[in-house]
Structure 1
């Protein structure tokens, strides 16, 4: 329980709402100015002070301390993980500039000597809402509006953006992509889709199969992905239920965790959402917002997962 006399702006449930905009930009937002290394290092020192402050703050408010998503007063959150990057901050800025309900990036910090590869942090605003959860329930579209239609508007709009990197598969800055779907959780950049598929298929192994025939069947299915040609579109990269917050009014209140965002083949978000549960509630959401076109790609992706999961699941 929070202390009764505590001002609302000091409480850990204080937020800075970013209402869903009526129109989401369908033209690629301009890249923001990226702060220089000296400024990022200075902000990193400031973030380290906030990190220590959060331990005291969480104890004072009687809430758990989270070393990755660091809770602060005044409606602020410090994200500091081994996956946080300048690319994530830029992607968040672009999505927010387009009109999506995304936290506002305040400062970016660099930590060159931090352990466990926690070399970057982002100070941002906290948004309201409750995170969605996946389940085995059926999706009833009429019961999920308005947030479901608003999510579809976000996904559809950002898929119309034109990449400044031509057919390259890369982050918003043209650099490597971060994804939990690959070894070491980092890949690329790739010059084209063929190079991406070469990389994804390279760790294929028969380790998890009972027979050689089963392995060959899965490999044949996975390699069918090479037959299809796709547009390269702006992609969230980690399109999961827990990254979507819905407010008490039923509206989409936050679209979170842009650490994997970048330019991918158009199917990537939808197969990411469905590969571990094709008939789950969240997979039905992915189908409704645009994934119904990618059944063939999903079959390839599921086969690919069975061939390569040993290469990244331990990381």
Structure 2
């Protein structure tokens, strides 16, 4: 039935659909507890809406691509409507809850299975071929990207890794920039494979079911073509981030390790306050 009704619904004017979704947001506010995000709202009928600062059509477009070309566990985009602030995205709700402190409850076998499931999803993400034309480091579709550990506003795109690194250093305290260039010289002179990256790896964006199995990956607004170490160093931000060995085991299993890149980024984090 939904295969018939959904195309009919989507054929209606976008302004009408948007008003209906906005009404569902108000109903959801009455039915469900606040989930901690100022941009994501739980709706009736097993749906979520996302809109607000830094929510763009590119996020819906990359999710649609991944849903069509991979078996990754991500929400399905039901509708995406351009609005003055960016985009109003309606998507399905995934089963499970944020990972948060669940890793510490897992047995060694559960932890290993969880890490392998997560790795399977990220392997698919990192295998997405990059378009041959356009900027090398960019958001989905070749536009700018969001990297919260560099700057609160969107940045780029960048034609080369060097352009990205120069920008990262330029955002640090002026009196420390020569020091940072020296620390980063070797790592930033080494070319890296550019892969499609999630860009915002932490325990609230990774879902787990009641059996401690991976059940979904959410929040794709930072997805971008970045150096292959990017998601792993993100998982360590700032300076250890989640702070327990189970998290480190999972992240190292999923991405491998990039100690030279992490050393440089940790030094950069000392002298840059993006917020």
Normalised to the residue count of structure 2, the TM-score between the two structures is: 0.83
**Candidates 165, 175, 179, aligned match of 2:147:** 179
Alpha-carbon distance between aligned partners in 1 of 2:11 and 2:136, rounded to the nearest angstrom? 28
Retained in 2: the 8 A contact 1:240–1:282?
Answer: no
Asked if residue 300 in structure 1 is aligned to residue 244 in structure 2, the reply is no
**Candidates 81, 106, 121, aligned match of 1:154:** 121
Asked if residue 241 in structure 1 is aligned to residue 203 in structure 2, the reply is yes
Alpha-carbon distance between aligned partners in 1 of 2:38 and 2:27, rounded to the nearest angstrom? 13
For residues 246-261 of structure 1, what are the structure 2 equivalents within 5 Å? 246-261=208-223
Q: Which residue does the alignment assign to 2:6?
A: none
Displacement after TM superposition at 1:197 (Å): 0.8
Q: Which residue does the alignment assign to 2:110?
A: 143
Q: Summarize the Cα distance change of 1:283–1:221 in structure 2 as closer, same or farther, 3 Å threshold.
A: farther
1:58-82, Cα deviation, whole Å (9 max, x unpaired): 32x3634875212211101111121
Retained in 2: the 8 A contact 1:91–1:262?
Answer: no
Question: What SS does structure 2 have at the residue aligned with 1:123?
Answer: strand
Retained in 2: the 8 A contact 1:170–1:188?
Answer: yes
Give me the CA root mean square deviation. 2.9
Displacement after TM superposition at 1:301 (Å): 0.6
Question: What SS does structure 1 have at the residue aligned with 2:204?
Answer: helix
Aligned length: 260
| Structure 1 residue runs without a partner (length 5+) | 1-38, 113-117
Asked if residue 68 in structure 1 is aligned to residue 32 in structure 2, the reply is no
Higher alpha-carbon Rg = 1
Alpha-carbon distance between aligned partners in 1 of 2:194 and 2:38, rounded to the nearest angstrom? 35
1:231-277, Cα deviation, whole Å (9 max, x unpaired): 11111111212111111233321110111112111111110111314
**Candidates 21, 27, 34, aligned match of 1:50:** 21
Normalised to the residue count of structure 1, the TM-score between the two structures is: 0.73
For residues 90-239 of structure 1, what are the structure 2 equivalents within 5 Å? 90-97=61-68, 98-112=70-84, 118-133=85-100, 141-165=108-132, 168-205=136-173, 217-239=179-201
Displacement after TM superposition at 1:305 (Å): 1.3
Alpha-carbon distance between aligned partners in 1 of 2:214 and 2:102, rounded to the nearest angstrom? 19
Q: Which residue does the alignment assign to 2:58?
A: 87
Displacement after TM superposition at 1:297 (Å): 0.3
Displacement after TM superposition at 1:300 (Å): 0.4
